[in-house]
Amino acid sequence: METELREVRDAVAGARLPLQTPHAAVASAHRDHLLAQLDDYVLPRAAALDAPLLVVVGGSTGAGKSTLVNALVGEPVATTGALRPTTRDPLLIHHPSDAGWFVPARILPHLARQRGDGTPQDRGTGGVVRLVETSAVGPGIALLDAPDIDSVVDANRELAGQLLAAADLWIFVTTAHRYADAVPWELLREAARRDVAIAVVLDRVPLTVRDEVSDDLAAMLEAEGLGQAPLFLVAESELAGGMLPESALSGLALWLERLSADTAARAQVARQTLHGAVRDVARGALDLADAVESQQRLSEGLRARVKAAYDTSDLLSTLADGALLRSEVLSRWQDFVGTGEFIRSVESTVGRARDRITAFVTGKPQPARQVEDAIGNGVLAVLVDQANTAAERTYRGLSQEPAGRELVVGTDLDAASPGFAERAGEEIRGWQHYLLELVRTEGQDKRTSARMLAFGVNGAAVVLMIVAFATTGGALLGSEVAIAGGAAVVAQKLLEAIFGDQAVRRLAEQARADLDDRVHTLFAEERDRYEALLPEAGAMAGSSAALRKAAAAAQGVIDAAERS
């Protein structure tokens, strides 16, 4: 069992809830509660089934818990009174022979130990439990006087709940006037759900209503699945020196004495509570797995938003559909190849274009650099605009989710990253250089080299750039549509005259593919700025799987133990 429970603890401790959702705080508190339950009770008890029982005396303010503890011990070891100080350390009373079980931090490891002589022992991470040795408590059991479950001090109230979760046996103290209060019953229902061994003390019962009140409380316990819990009545009586008469608690004292003397009975109490606690932890681990998976789905949704915003499919279509062949590029292209009349004549007489182009390339071409610069500037403008648009869209989309808003508020992620334009410019120049090398390699054939000689490698590379943006589906205006179409046709025919039609198709595909790769790389780097903020969904999936596996294994061990 210990191995399975260690795996549960590792899985619970490893559960990550990184996104600040409305439910994340509740899930984180639940995880902390599970860890406390495992560390304070489940693991220590599973490792030492023969250890003394920890009997926690709990109840509401003024119920008489400390008075009851003092009466059981026979001396005023616990502070009494209806009002509590703002801080109150729990008191653990044990037989001297059991000191080895309680002085070390075997249970409640977060609480430092303080012996009755004031010597600190095994200082913990916060808070103190005061240890008192007395032979008035039989060996095999220890009494722990807990803070009030309804304390006005949050820390005391939380500590009371934690101490009750670490108990083998609850002695729940209430009064004839307050036994139906809501707060105690919340904890009693939790005890029933966890199958905790429990005894109930009804304190300050007037003799005139003894039977009526006790029958009503017994019926309420039965209705909540606690009908087997022993019920002890303490009659309303005067205190002598702050102490109850010895006879007032004779029934409870005898019951505890018999439990102390009966090893088998103590072992049965320990098994009952431990098995119930393990089942409760297993259920809690499954609830925690649900919370982790909820965060996983949210993370995947946020990541999908980022991915959609930085999807370059439309951008690459824009670059390939001829939209770049407008104003500045068209003007420089016309200067490069000759005149607008030449382009229009080629477009209208495509059948005679090869002869015209062959004659053209034997002449002196215009400088290609201006066309190359115009294309580069056009592509750069599109990339920068798209990067800013994607950043703004992603920022806005994430800001609409509480978890996403926590990630991006206060960042500069609503625009393209600093230096994006410079990096994009470098990639464009790299692409243009790649096209130059493509043309140079393709032109190594003697016949092709002769055809390209007059036109030049740079000129052919510029023409290939135009072909890379050959389809005219972009938002061209007026006469630009016809002229851009003519530019594409001229560029196509020019290259075919030099390299042949099959080579031109291959070169154009290589040119587009290289540009696509460069654009993908640029935008992946931009997308990474956002994705770096998002938790890995895969890690959360592994965490939830580990929780479910460990919970099933722990539950399986308990089922097997109860069948045997």
121: three-class secondary structure by DSSP: strand
pLDDT score, position 394: 94
pLDDT < 50 positions in the chain? 82-87, 118-126, 339-366, 471-485
Q: How far is CA 257 from the centre of its chain?
A: 49
CA 115 vs CA 99, 102, 227, 306, 328: distances in Å: 10, 10, 38, 59, 89
> What is the residue extent of each domain of the chain?
1-48+265-309+538-564, 52-261, 311-533
For 389, phi then psi, to 5°, come to -65, -45
pLDDT score, position 324: 60
Q: How far is CA 162 from the centre of its chain?
A: 25
pTM of this structure: 0.74
Q: Tell me how far apart the alpha carbons of residues 173 and 166 are, in angstroms, rounded to a whole number.
A: 17
Helical H runs in 310-326? Answer: 313-320
pLDDT score, position 53: 96
Q: Tell me how far apart the alpha carbons of residues 327 and 325 are, in angstroms, rounded to a whole number.
A: 7
For residue 471, give the DSSP letter: -
What are 346-385's pLDDT values in tens digits? 344 334 444 444 444 444 444 577 778 888 888 898 899 9
Query: Residue 371 burial (CB < 10 Å; 0-12/13-18/19+)?
Result: buried
What are 156-174's pLDDT values in tens digits? 888 888 888 889 999 999 9
For residue 97, give the DSSP letter: G
Rounded to the nearest 10 degrees, how much is the dihedral formed by the CA atoms of 375, 378, 382, 387? 90
Name which of 159, 162, 171, 223 is nearest 196 in CA terms. 171
pLDDT score, position 122: 46
Q: Tell me how far apart the alpha carbons of residues 539 and 162 are, in angstroms, rounded to a whole number.
A: 30
For residue 322, give every residue at least 6 positions away whose Cβ sits within 8 Å of its Cβ, in sequence order, or none: 469, 470, 471, 472, 473, 474, 476, 484, 485, 488
Q: Tell me how far apart the alpha carbons of residues 75 and 242 are, in angstroms, rounded to a whole number.
A: 10
In order, the DSSP letters of 269-289 are HHHHHHHHHHHHHHHHHHHHH
CA 424 vs CA 181, 260, 318, 416, 432: distances in Å: 70, 80, 16, 11, 12
pLDDT score, position 486: 55
Q: Tell me how far apart the alpha carbons of residues 404 and 483 are, in angstroms, rounded to a whole number.
A: 47
For residue 430, give every residue at least 6 positions away whose Cβ sits within 8 Å of its Cβ, in sequence order, or none: 518
Other Cβ atoms less than 10 A from the Cβ of 24: the count is: 19
For 3, phi then psi, to 5°, come to -60, -45
For 244, phi then psi, to 5°, come to -70, 155
**CATH number for the segment(s) 52-261:** 3.40.50.300
pLDDT score, position 453: 54
Point out which residues pair with 198 in neighbouring strands: 170
Helical H runs in 338-410? Answer: 340-348, 353-361, 369-399, 402-408
Q: Tell me how far apart the alpha carbons of residues 282 and 196 are, in angstroms, rounded to a whole number.
A: 15
For residue 146, give the DSSP letter: P
Cβ proximity of 55 and 95 under 8 Å: no
Cβ proximity of 285 and 547 under 8 Å: yes
pLDDT score, position 229: 93
Residue 49, token pair as written in the block: 């089934």
pLDDT score, position 199: 94
Residue 553, token pair as written in the block: 């294994």
Query: Residue 505 burial (CB < 10 Å; 0-12/13-18/19+)?
Result: middle
